[in-house]
DNA sequence: GTGAAAGCGCTAACAA
DNA sequence: TTGTTAGCGCTTTCAC
């Protein structure tokens, strides 16, 4: 029914005719109302209201070469990890009249490249990428593309353009050091292996153990697929095979929560039987019983600052992108 | 730096020149390669590769009046509730070359209207809305807009166009009936009051108690803001003021999890001191200890089917939108 | 403060 | 199978 179309959408020409001015004046009324006489402006506004005119941003983008769109690539949309960053971006750009176009890389560099190129077809004014590991060809193309690009959630010596994040290596190292400081000695690490960020956390964990020359090799287990069920299973078999473990560091709070529930099912007291630590400081971390010891990372601010960096470039108030290290913070609660 | 621009983006004309054909042939090679001779196609592909050409979808949209964009309005992006639906949409449309443009209504009908009109400026081929409660003016405009619109997460007698969801009233009613069937008598309801969907669940709950003529009025508490902390506080004061309660039905699994943690902190056995039930069947529901009794709702499928409905309309394989009731299912676990 | 002409990069409709 | 012409709805530029 509705696809058949009712009365045709009205365009700027109709608004102009209705208000007795030229389209140029309507355009000005929309973009820079202060350059239009007050009464003219009022007539135009009435015409817009009367006709239910909605400016065609597609035509506007084509003519002005400004789309007012920011493209965002995340590994997955259904993951509380990146949601907050997207929220940060949305909050920052929404007030400036920008809109968000999104795509999912599904943790594949190949898909990321294809998707990003497709998004570039919309001629976004800026691009936010997750991570700093990308297909080399994509990096090259983005460097040539001439639009502000911000990589997030990691730091790197060789950015495409701007970077906003923190050191996942350091975060992994710091939590491990804290656990050692609190007296734990047999510490395992659990996390996926696909994500470069998790790999960096693991590397930090291993480096810390090596530095402190802790007896016994690092114990690591992989929990792919990110499902809570898989995480619980992984944790349980890890504990079965290494009953001497006194602490487990999981690469995200979701995994840690899952491990905690596994302990509860077994009747294991946490942290007495085994201490648990996560990463992220998700909202649930403070609510869990015992509350979760974790590494707080600036999820929301990563998005906000990334958007800010892009807008600064677009407004001309910054000519060069930068690297912004937002840091992290170990938060000790009761689980370790 | 990169904003200064490197070598200018190449356009279709350059590709055409490089391949020795007209732009129209390049356009065909892109949209319907089967209508182009094999060797011509190859030359064009080489030209595209050589020039690093990325088709301008903005110009394409303007000329063809097909944007290949689906607009989605959700109350909030950082909420696991709608993520899965967005994922469902993304999965369904991604394979068809469509892209997603998103905005947040923040649970405000006013914001929803402004946002939706702004999104319509991008001339999306379809629109997915959350809920069936909208500003009347928005409804009118969308009916006139002549594009496929699908409302989700609820059912309604008076849709704008298509609807995909389930009855929140029935879901609330069903869970309440089950709780009564399991022997609970003093049942409270906790949920926000802003969301129409929560209100419908509450109405279902109240209707059930009324129908069964259960002694005592329904006990309800509001937990706004959606924060887990607020939910815990609300639950605790509810219990303090109504110590006789033997079951609490919370309008989402997040709230229920929060209530469960509150019980754990107080050393209250669940369900013996108080039974807990949620709604959503989030991934965490099955992992909690005790595992959460809840109402499973088709979060992912809502998105998938909504996208499907839109695509069917766009492909002409459906001429009229419909109402799709995806149902719900009470899942009994250990918490009630 | 306002308008006229030109054109953004592509594709519909037609023709060859 | 391929090309030509016109134009999508707006904004740029320049003139008044």
Read off the pLDDT of residues B6-24 as tens digits, 9 standing for 90 and up: 467 899 999 999 999 999 9
Q: What is the pLDDT of residue A3?
A: 39
Is residue A143 within 8 A of residue A161, CB to CB? The reply is yes
Which of A216-225, B107-116, B137-146 is least confident? A216-225
Neighbours of B328 (CB within 10 A): 23
Per the omega criterion (within 30 degrees of 0), is the bond before A194 cis? no
Distance between the alpha carbon (CA) of B95 and the C1' atom of D8, Å:
27
Give B78's contacts in chain A (Cβ within 8 Å): 80, 83-84, 86-87
Predicted confidence pLDDT, tens digits, chain A (336 residues): 333 444 678 999 999 999 999 999 999 999 999 999 999 999 999 999 999 999 999 999 999 999 999 999 999 888 778 899 999 999 999 989 999 999 999 989 999 999 999 999 999 999 999 999 999 999 999 999 999 999 999 999 999 999 999 999 999 999 999 999 999 999 999 998 788 999 999 999 999 999 998 866 778 878 666 789 999 999 999 999 999 999 999 999 999 999 999 999 999 999 999 999 999 999 999 999 999 999 999 999 999 999 999 999 998 887 787 999 999 999 999 999
Opening angle at CA B279, ends B209 and B254, nearest 5: 125
Phi-psi category of residue A324: left, alpha or beta, with phi > 0 → left and psi -120 to 50 → alpha: beta
Q: What is the pLDDT of residue A269?
A: 98
In the numeric block, the tokens 């906003």 are attached to: A164
Q: What is the pLDDT of residue B218?
A: 75
Tell me if B78 and A86 make a contact (CB, 8 A cut-off). yes
Report the protein residue whose CA lies nearest the C1' of nucleotide D8: B63
Interatomic CA distance for residues B242 and A299, integer angstroms: 38
Q: What is the pLDDT of residue A336?
A: 94
Q: Closest Cα partner for A288 from A272, A270, A274, A300?
A: A270
Q: Is the CB of B23 under 7 A from strand D?
A: yes
Phi, psi of A223 (to 5 degrees): -125, 95
Give B102's contacts in chain A (Cβ within 8 Å): 90, 100-102
Q: Which residue of A has its CA nearest to B89?
A: A77
Residues 207-236 of chain B with CB under 8 A from chain A are 227-229, 232
Angstroms from B208 CA to nearest CA on chain A: 32
Is residue A280 within 8 angstroms of chain B, CB to CB? no
Interatomic CA distance for residues B312 and B322, integer angstroms: 11
Segments of chain A assigned E as strands: 69-74, 99-104, 126-130, 149-152, 162-165, 187-191, 219-222, 247-250, 275-277, 294-296, 323-325, 329-331
Interatomic CA distance for residues B163 and B178, integer angstroms: 28
- Residue B196 predicted with pLDDT over 60: yes
Neighbours of A7 (CB within 10 A): 9
Question: What are the sequence ranges of the domains in chain A?
Answer: 3-55, 67-166+299-327, 168-296
Do domains A3-55 and A168-296 share one topology? The answer is no
Distance between the alpha carbon (CA) of B58 and the C1' atom of D11, Å:
15
Segments of chain B assigned E as strands: 69-74, 99-104, 126-130, 149-152, 162-165, 187-191, 219-222, 247-250, 275-277, 294-296, 323-325, 329-331
Q: Closest Cα partner for B29 from B95, A114, B19?
A: B19
A137: tokens are 């060809």
Angstroms from B248 CA to nearest CA on chain A: 19
pLDDT band at residue B206 under the 50/70/90 scheme: very high
- Residue B87 predicted with pLDDT over 70: yes
Distance between the alpha carbon (CA) of B63 and the C1' atom of C12, Å:
8
Residues B54-63, mean pLDDT to the nearest whole number: 98
Distance between the alpha carbon (CA) of B137 and the C1' atom of C10, Å:
34
Mean pLDDT score across all residues of chain B: 93
The β-bridge partners of B325 are B165
Angstroms from A52 CA to nearest CA on chain B: 8
B233: tokens are 């506080």
The reply to whether CATH 1.10.260.40 applies to domain B3-55 is yes
Distance between the alpha carbon (CA) of A10 and the C1' atom of D4, Å:
30
CA atoms within 13 A on the CB side of A336: 35
SS3 A188: strand
Phi, psi of B151 (to 5 degrees): -90, 145
Q: What is the pLDDT of residue B3?
A: 40
- Among B5, B80, B289, the residue with its CB nearest the CB of A80 is B80
**Residue B80 vs residue B300, higher pLDDT:** B300
Angstroms from A207 CA to nearest CA on chain B: 33
- Residue B318 predicted with pLDDT over 90: no
Residues 118-157 of chain B with CB under 8 A from chain A are 118-123, 141-149
Q: What is the pLDDT of residue A79?
A: 76
Give A117's contacts in chain B (Cβ within 8 Å): 54
Is residue B99 within 8 angstroms of chain A, CB to CB? yes
Q: What is the pLDDT of residue A1?
A: 37
Is residue A323 within 8 angstroms of chain B, CB to CB? no
The reply to whether CATH 3.40.50.620 applies to domain B168-296 is no
pLDDT in tens, B246-260: 999 999 999 999 999
**Residue A321 vs residue B28, higher pLDDT:** B28
Q: What is the pLDDT of residue B68?
A: 97
Q: What is the pLDDT of residue B79?
A: 76
- Residue B61 predicted with pLDDT over 60: yes
Tell me if A287 and B6 make a contact (CB, 8 A cut-off). no
Tell me if B146 and A6 make a contact (CB, 8 A cut-off). yes
Superfamily of domain B67-166+299-327: Response regulator (3.40.50.2300)
Phi-psi category of residue A316: left, alpha or beta, with phi > 0 → left and psi -120 to 50 → alpha: left
Give A253's contacts in chain B (Cβ within 8 Å): none
Interatomic CA distance for residues B186 and A166, integer angstroms: 50
Q: What is the pLDDT of residue B319?
A: 77
Q: What is the pLDDT of residue A2?
A: 38
- Among B228, B320, B321, the residue with its CB nearest the CB of A283 is B228
Residues B80-91, mean pLDDT to the nearest whole number: 91
Angstroms from A87 CA to nearest CA on chain B: 6
Q: What is the pLDDT of residue A7?
A: 61
Is residue B114 within 8 angstroms of chain A, CB to CB? no
Is residue B283 within 8 angstroms of chain A, CB to CB? yes
Interatomic CA distance for residues A257 and A286, integer angstroms: 11
Neighbours of A235 (CB within 10 A): 26
How would you label A288-297 residue by residue, b for 16+ Cβ within 10 Å and e otherwise?
bbbbbbbbbb
Q: Closest Cα partner for B129 from B146, B113, B110, B145?
A: B113
Q: What is the pLDDT of residue B224?
A: 65
Interatomic CA distance for residues A57 and B122, integer angstroms: 5
pLDDT band at residue B88 under the 50/70/90 scheme: very high
Is residue B128 within 8 A of residue B148, CB to CB? The reply is no
């Amino acid at each position: 029914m509705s696809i058949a179309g009712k009365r045709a959408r009205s365009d700027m020409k109709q608004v102009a005719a209705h208000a007795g001015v030229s389209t140029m004046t309507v355009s000005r009324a929309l973009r820079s109302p202060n350059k239009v006489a007050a009464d003219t402006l009022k007539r135009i506004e009435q015409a817009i209201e009367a006709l239910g005119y909605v400016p065609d941003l597609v035509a506007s983008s084509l003519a002005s070469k400004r789309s007012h769109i920011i493209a965002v690539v995340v590994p997955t949309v259904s993951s509380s990890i990146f949601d907050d960053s997207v929220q940060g971006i949305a909050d920052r750009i929404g007030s400036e009249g920008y809109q968000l176009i999104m795509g999912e890389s599904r943790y594949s560099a190949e898909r990321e490249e294809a998707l990003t190129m497709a998004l570039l077809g919309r001629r976004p004014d800026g691009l936010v990428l997750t991570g700093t590991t990308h297909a080399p060809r994509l990096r090259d193309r983005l460097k040539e593309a001439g639009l502000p690009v911000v990589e997030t959630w990691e730091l790197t010596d060789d950015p495409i353009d701007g970077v906003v994040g923190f050191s996942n290596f350091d975060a992994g190292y710091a939590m491990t050091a804290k656990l050692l400081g609190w007296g734990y000695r047999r510490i395992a690490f659990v996390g996926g292996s696909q994500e470069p960020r998790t790999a960096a956390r693991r590397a930090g964990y291993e480096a810390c153990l090596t530095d402190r020359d802790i007896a016994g090799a690092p114990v690591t287990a992989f929990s792919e697929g990110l499902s809570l069920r898989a995480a619980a299973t992984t944790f349980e078999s890890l504990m079965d095979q290494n009953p001497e473990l006194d602490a487990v560091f999981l690469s995200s709070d979701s995994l840690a929560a899952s491990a905690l529930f596994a302990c509860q099912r077994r009747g294991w007291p946490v942290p007495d039987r085994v201490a648990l630590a996560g990463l992220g400081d998700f909202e649930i971390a403070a609510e869990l019983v015992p509350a979760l010891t974790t590494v707080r990372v600036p999820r929301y601010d990563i998005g906000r600052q990334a958007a800010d960096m892009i807008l600064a470039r677009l407004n001309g108030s910054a000519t060069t992108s930068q690297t912004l290290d937002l840091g992290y913070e170990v938060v000790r609660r009761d689980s370790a």
